[in-house]
Structure 1
Amino acid sequence: MSSECKGKSSWPELVGVKGEIAAATIEKENPFVTATIVPPGTSVLPVILCDNVNVFVDENGIVTSTPIIG
Structure 2
Amino acid sequence: MNPYPPCANGSCTDHACCTPGYKYRWPNTLGMDGEKAKRIIEKDNPLVTGVIVPDGNYVIDNFCCNRVWIFVNKQGKVILPVPMVG
Same fold per superposition (TM over 0.5): yes
Alignment of 1:6-21 (within 5 A): 6=19, 7-21=22-36
Q: Which runs of 5+ in 2 are unaligned?
A: 1-13
Alignment of 1:40-55 (within 5 A): 40-55=55-70
Question: Number of paired residues?
Answer: 70
- Distance in 2 between residues matched to 1:40 and 1:28, nearest whole Å: 24
RMSD (Å), alpha carbons: 0.7
Q: Secondary structure at the match of 2:43?
A: helix
Residue matched to 2:7: none
Please give the TM-score of this superposition, normalised by the length of structure 2: 0.78
Q: Which runs of 5+ in 1 are unaligned?
A: none
Runs of 4+ in 1 over 3 A off after TM superposition: none
Q: Percent identity?
A: 40
